[in-house]
Amino acid sequence: MSNLFPKSANKLPLQIILYLFVLGGIATAGVTYYMTPKYTRVGYAPTQPIPFSHALHAGQLDIDCRYCHSNVDKSGHSNVPTSQTCMNCHNQVKTTSPLLAPVRESYATGNAVPWVWVHQTPDYAYFNHAAHVNRGVSCVECHGKINEMEVVTHSKPLSMSFCLDCHRAPEAYVREQADIFNLDSQPIAAKAGLEAGKKFVHDWNIRPPQSCSGCHR
């Protein structure tokens, strides 16, 4: 009976454990790398209940972001416009369009339009819109060229490394206050050089946190 298995079989349990450990490490590394917003969210463009074109409204018509997202520079969250905001224009423009029926119904009933969120901050991360907007961070830095999008698409990874790149070197990303909502503007560093960006960061006392507690509260 002792000769039924070769002597090398004594190492088999240890080899199996070792292989499982290596396989688990590879799987963990793969999930950690690929299950990030860069791979799971970038390109996400859900179908909305109303085909709203930012390219038309924010681009061609040059409507300021704050007209619809009225609390973006005052609140930690960027509000979705109410049907009242839409009807300020659409009680005179395309008043019978079937595509706008959900807006008219929402306005009449008080029930919110069931917009699908595109950009969502994870529950474990803290993000304040007003703090960024009021310190030189333009919409396009996080959302991309919204004014060129027919359908809003999740164009930036919004991962931890993405945020830290800006927190570690804000001088490369900040804009003058007058350019924050100009979606065709360029960062100060792109227009006047990195030193001009650093001066703006110094003068405005911009000190974004880099510690864990800054974003994970």
For the record, the structure tokens of 6 come out as: 């070769």
Q: Is residue 37 in some structural domain?
A: no
pTM of the shown model: 0.78
Q: How many domains does the chain have?
A: 1
Q: Is residue 198 in some structural domain?
A: yes
Give the alpha-carbon dihedral of 65, 70, 76, 80, to 10 degrees: -80
Residue 36: band (very low, low, confident or very high) from pLDDT cuts 50, 70, 90 = low
Q: Is residue 194 in some structural domain?
A: yes
Percent of the chain with pLDDT over 90: 73
Q: Is residue 40 in some structural domain?
A: no
pLDDT at 39: 61
Q: What is the mean pLDDT of residues 97-104?
A: 96
**Is pLDDT of 104 > 80?**
yes
Residue 35: band (very low, low, confident or very high) from pLDDT cuts 50, 70, 90 = low
Q: Which domain holds residue 208?
A: 119-215
Query: 111, 201 in Cβ contact below 8 A?
Result: no
Q: Is residue 85 in some structural domain?
A: no
Q: Is residue 99 in some structural domain?
A: no
pLDDT at 33: 64
The Cα 75–Cα 130 span in angstroms is 5
Q: Is residue 142 in some structural domain?
A: yes
pLDDT at 34: 60
Residue 83 CB neighbours (<10 A):
22
Q: Is residue 59 in some structural domain?
A: no
